[in-house]
């Protein structure tokens, strides 16, 4: 299946324990800045800031 060149897959990494909890996509044309989201981390058992991390293809 063809993938658009400007959409990239990323991980969302917990800023406290470093665990990769979520995977998502980001359009680097529409969203040139790095993502940082508050998400639930099952390892920390609370909501913490998750930072974007490049996913290997």
C-alpha distances (whole Å) from 39 to each of 1, 28, 43, 50 are 30, 21, 12, 6
Q: Does 41 bind Zn ion (CB under 5 A)?
A: yes
Q: Does 8 bind Zn ion (CB under 5 A)?
A: no
Q: State in angstroms the smallest separation of the CB of 20 from Zn ion.
A: 10
Q: What does the alpha-carbon distance between residue 6 and residue 14 come to, in Å, rounded to a whole number?
A: 25
Q: Does 14 bind Zn ion (CB under 5 A)?
A: yes
Q: State in angstroms the smallest separation of the CB of 56 from Zn ion.
A: 21
Are the C-beta atoms of residues 49 and 15 closer than 8 Å to each other?
A: yes
Name the residues that contact Zn ion, by CB under 5 A: 14, 16-17, 41, 43-44
């Amino acid at each position: 299946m063809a993938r658009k060149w400007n959409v990239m897959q990323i991980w969302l990494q917990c800023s406290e324990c470093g665990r990769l909890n979520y995977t998502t996509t980001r359009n680097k044309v529409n969203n040139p800045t790095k993502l940082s989201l508050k998400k639930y981390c099952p390892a920390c058992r609370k909501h913490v800031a998750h930072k974007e991390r490049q996913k290997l293809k």
